[in-house]
Amino acid sequence: MHGYLGIDVGSVTTKLVLLSEEGELLWGTYRKTLGQPIRVLQAALAKLHKELSPSIHGVGVTGSGRGLAAHLIGADIVKNEITAHAISAIKHHYNVQTIIEIGGQDSKLIIIRDNVVVDFSMNTVCAAGTGSFLEHQASRLGMGIDEFGKSALHATAPVRIAGRCTVFAESDMIHKQQMGHNLEDIIAGLCDALVRNYLNNLARGKEMREPILFQGGVAANPGIKVAFERELKKEIIIPRHFSLMGAIGASLLALEMKPRKTKFKGFKVFSHHLTSSSFYCDGCPNNCGVIEIKDGEEVIARWGDNCGKWSSLEETILK
């Protein structure tokens, strides 16, 4: 078996997929990054090797940790999340006009016209409405995240929650609990508040035409989907592989590229003892922060410098 590997390393979750020559999903995994992206990547690769032992013909990476993944695994193409999610959404729904993407720690709105990204906005500063905040609230209430999302569907009179900030939202939820509102109405109110927050921050001045795709881990929360539909009065479509869309997009880009010889470093990567560290270069006033990955005592990758002083050493190191 052979295929194209797609990797999406986020701050909260890491996703790997393998696509066939025809672009069909052969294998995929979605797992918590747990602040240890190297170990998680190695574990995911080990699982893929154990289950399929595929021959890799190309690798595409995306996500906030794409630089790390590209150096660690060996990537043929590295793209930002906007491009990766758009490519994947267009593959899933050819006429898609709008993409709502909410992940573990950030959220995005992507506007597409005639299969081209014409506008986008991102919220990487405020965690209100992202997956990590919802999981925290579910945990605080002693519920699993699946139960939390479904509970919102049983609300009869959603309460008004201040959702512009995680601190205010949590305080308001506790206040509403102390007033005696039932849990389903509070959770539905939180979903409504987070959707209003998303639209106020990301959608200002942007026309959200249908079809609208909702992807990213938070798309698993039916309460948020219903809140979007209630606020926009439009149908929200959730793709089958909503949580893997970024990785699928990265893999599709590698498939389209069809490199003559892939830069993939091989599955041996998962068996090595890899560590990362960083230092600041004092060679000029930029004081770039340089990331360094070691295999035992051997430096195998460096990046983060603007001038190439340290990353150019990588080519020598890897020879």
Please give the pLDDT value at position 48. Answer: 96
**Alpha helix positions (H), the chain:** 37-51, 66-69, 81-92, 131-140, 145-151, 166-179, 183-202, 222-232, 245-257, 312-318
53 vs 277, which has greater pLDDT?
A: 53
Residue 305, phi then psi, degrees to nearest 5 = -90, 145
d(CA 313, CA 46): 28
d(CA 159, CA 230): 15
79 vs 150, which has greater pLDDT?
A: 79
Tell how strand 289-295 and strand 298-303 pair up. Answer: antiparallel
Q: Is 319's pLDDT higher than 50?
A: no
Q: Is 193's pLDDT higher than 80?
A: yes
**Mean pLDDT value across residues 296-315:** 71
Of 34-38, 130-134, 251-255, the range with the highest mean pLDDT is 251-255
Q: What is the DSSP string of 130-184?
A: SHHHHHHHHHHTT--HHHHHHHGGG-SSPPP---SSHHHHHHHHHHHHHHT--HH
Q: Is 308's pLDDT higher than 80?
A: no
130 vs 70, which has greater pLDDT?
A: 70
pLDDT band at residue 34 using 50, 70 and 90 as cut-offs: confident
Range in 73-87, 124-138, 181-195 with the lowest mean pLDDT: 124-138
Q: Are 236 and 212 in contact (CB under 8 A)?
A: yes
29 vs 164, which has greater pLDDT?
A: 29
Closest CA to 149 of 102, 197, 183, 188: 188
Please give the pLDDT value at position 98. Answer: 97
Mean pLDDT of the chain: 87
Range in 83-87, 101-105, 213-217 with the lowest mean pLDDT: 101-105
Of all residues in the chain, what percent are helix, strand and coil, respectively (each to 5)? 40, 25, 35
- For the entire predicted model, the pTM comes to 0.85
Q: Is 209's pLDDT higher than 90?
A: yes
Q: Which residue has the tokens 């068996």?
A: 271
The proportion of the chain whose per-residue pLDDT surpasses 70, expressed as a percent, equals: 94
d(CA 294, CA 262): 22
| Identity at 178, one-letter amino acid code | Q
Q: Is 278's pLDDT higher than 60?
A: yes
pLDDT tens string 35-62: 788 889 999 999 999 999 999 999 999 9
Longest dimension (CA), the chain: 67
Q: Is 237's pLDDT higher than 90?
A: yes
Q: Is 114's pLDDT higher than 80?
A: yes
Please give the pLDDT value at position 142. Answer: 84
**Which residues 6+ apart lie within 8 Å of 50 measured at CB?**
none
**Mean pLDDT value across residues 182-208:** 89
